[in-house]
């Protein structure tokens, strides 16, 4: 059925899913390259060769220039899932356009794309709260205004934009109201480009979280203008299912070269850090010597390859249950990305809520620094330890950073356990805190890798976690073993009798 959204794999709040459209199944996370209907810098055949079976184009431009005589698929073919935007970008750039919302939506119903957006009012970079509020109210009003056309054309997936800009309460209100409108099978967060352009990635994370946490989990969620590869995994982790952008072409016209971590100026490169068909054939100096239109096209093709590559990497990370690790790695490639990562960690409870408890493909977790303590598996373990009731009056703590896992099978642990049957037996581990020996085979209490050298914050926070747990358990006596040379040696500073 058109609009069905079937989730296949999940990790954090991200997912791989299949959206049913009139012209085929679209696997998400997905990226919609923006195609200018009047000037296709990259042909549809080239788009398909890169791996894109979908794109977005502008219904306002199509209508204004009479490009589509009948339906949009008659012009562009039935082999693409086509999304149409409404002219909101032109409003953002130039002010009002000479078309009404109802004109645009009626036109979209006539040309019959697979996915369509009504003519919303972008908040943009509005610093004035009243101006932002007006964009939210007008967008909601316009969504209601065309509901009759939307209801009569349910073979199109209609998108309801969410506005509010930097004002999170307005974003929340906009998201809740849009989510209540069942006729719209897709939601989208508008106006992120102003934050992307200023590298305010942490603010963008706040916006995405606010919108996503106030809408139905079961509806696909789009991010307008999210076109740089390095921000895609962060947005997906918070629950974004699709993106669109003309960044690949806009950056190319400015001689900007995308990578998975950052953007380069072509003139600053001596070597291409990529093996796509463009980069494996040319070097930077050869592109710089070309005619501008030839260079722009090749750079645009490269930029699309990098976006496609990033989408695939994110999907593979989801399949393997390693999205947190992938984002953690990405975070250190640029200070703005690290800020985005830290902003995401504020919402660790939200990520844990949707992160699946069982991940069949995961063989272990990789823990790096104190940020790893915010990953869902460790948060769940902390909750488990808080709820665990003592079985004995005394506790024995073995520092486990030199033990073999699973700890229940370690000969030293077995020997200690046999001689101390009147103690609850725990292993003290970096990142985890305390692990009950009898539960140590459960995933991921034995299935993990940690650095040989731990940072001081990780050690300090682990020790603090252990002390808090032990104080809350009210053991009459606490004994420590194998801790003198451990990274957690100062856990012994806790009183042995509480």
Q: Are 160 and 175 in contact (CB under 8 A)?
A: no
Distance CA 6, CA 27 (A): 10
Q: What is the dihedral of CA 214, 220, 221, 225, to 10 degrees?
A: -170
pLDDT given at position 90: 59
Side-chain half-sphere CA neighbours of 72 within 13 A: 32
Q: What separation in angstroms does the CA of 193 have from each of 97, 110, 339, 416?
A: 20, 30, 17, 59
Q: Which residues are catalytic?
A: 85
Distance CA 423, CA 477 (A): 9
- The yes/no answer on whether domain 5-350 falls in CATH 3.30.450.20 is no
Cis peptide before 444 (omega within 30 of 0): yes
Residues 6+ apart with CB under 8 A from 51: 308
Distance CA 155, CA 449 (A): 49
Give the tokens for residue 151.
């209801």
pLDDT given at position 44: 92
Residue with tokens 């349910």: 154
pLDDT given at position 497: 46
Instruction: Give domain limits for the chain.
Output: 5-350, 365-493
Cis peptide before 406 (omega within 30 of 0): yes
CA neighbor of 86 nearest in space, from 146, 174, 172: 146
Residues 6+ apart with CB under 8 A from 368: 328, 451
Averages of pLDDT over each 10 residues, the chain, 498 residues: 95 97 97 88 92 94 81 91 82 62 94 96 82 94 97 97 95 97 96 86 96 96 93 98 95 96 95 96 96 95 97 96 96 96 97 87 86 95 93 89 73 83 91 90 86 91 92 90 78 63
pLDDT given at position 487: 78
Give, in words, the CATH class of 365-493: alpha beta
pLDDT given at position 498: 42
């Amino acid at each position: 059925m058109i609009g069905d959204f079937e989730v296949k794999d999940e990790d954090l709040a991200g997912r791989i899913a299949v959206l049913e459209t009139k012209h085929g199944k679209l696997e998400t996370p997905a990226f919609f390259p923006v195609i200018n209907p009047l000037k296709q810098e990259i042909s549809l055949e080239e788009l398909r060769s890169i791996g894109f079976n979908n794109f977005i184009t502008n219904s306002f431009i199509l209508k204004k220039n009479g490009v589509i005589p009948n339906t949009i698929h008659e012009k562009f073919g039935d082999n693409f899932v086509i999304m149409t935007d409404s002219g909101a970008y032109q409003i953002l750039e130039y002010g009002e356009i000479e078309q009404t919302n109802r004109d645009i939506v009626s036109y979209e119903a006539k040309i019959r794309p697979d996915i369509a957006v009504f003519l919303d009012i972008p908040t943009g970079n509005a610093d004035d709260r009243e101006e932002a509020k007006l964009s939210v109210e007008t967008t909601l009003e316009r969504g209601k205004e065309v509901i009759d056309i939307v209801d009569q054309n349910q073979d199109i997936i209609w998108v309801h934009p969410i506005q509010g800009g930097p004002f999170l309460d307005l974003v929340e209100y906009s998201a809740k109201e849009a989510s209540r409108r069942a006729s719209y099978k897709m939601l989208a967060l508008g106006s992120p480009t102003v934050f992307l352009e200023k590298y305010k990635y942490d603010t963008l994370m706040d916006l995405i979280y606010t919108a996503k946490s106030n809408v139905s989990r079961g509806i696909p969620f789009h991010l307008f203008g999210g076109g740089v590869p390095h921000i895609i995994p962060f947005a997906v982790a918070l629950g974004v299912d699709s993106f669109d952008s003309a960044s690949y072409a806009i950056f190319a016209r400015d001689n900007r070269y995308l990578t998975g971590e950052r953007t380069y100026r072509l003139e600053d490169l001596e070597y291409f850090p990529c093996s796509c068909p463009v980069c494996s054939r040319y070097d930077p100096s050869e592109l710089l010597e070309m005619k501008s239109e030839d260079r722009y096209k090749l750079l645009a093709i490269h930029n699309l390859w990098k976006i496609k590559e990033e989408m695939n990497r994110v999907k593979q990370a989801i399949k393997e249950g390693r999205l947190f690790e992938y984002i953690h790695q990405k975070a250190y490639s640029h200070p703005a990305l690290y800020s985005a990562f830290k902003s995401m960690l504020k919402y660790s409870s939200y990520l844990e809520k949707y992160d699946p408890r069982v991940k069949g493909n995961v063989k272990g977790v990789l823990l790096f620094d104190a940020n790893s303590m915010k990953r869902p598996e460790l948060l769940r373990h902390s909750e488990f330890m808080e709820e665990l009731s003592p079985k004995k009056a005394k506790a024995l703590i073995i520092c486990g950073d030199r033990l073999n896992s699973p700890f229940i099978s370690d000969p030293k642990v077995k020997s200690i356990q046999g001689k101390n049957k009147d103690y609850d037996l725990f292993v003290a581990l970096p990142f985890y805190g305390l692990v009950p020996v009898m539960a140590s085979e459960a995933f991921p209490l034995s299935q993990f890798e940690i650095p040989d050298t731990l940072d001081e914050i990780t050690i300090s926070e682990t020790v603090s976690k252990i002390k808090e747990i032990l104080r809350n358990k009210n053991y009459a006596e606490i004994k420590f073993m194998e801790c003198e040379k451990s990274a957690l040696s100062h856990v012994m500073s806790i009183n042995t009798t509480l």
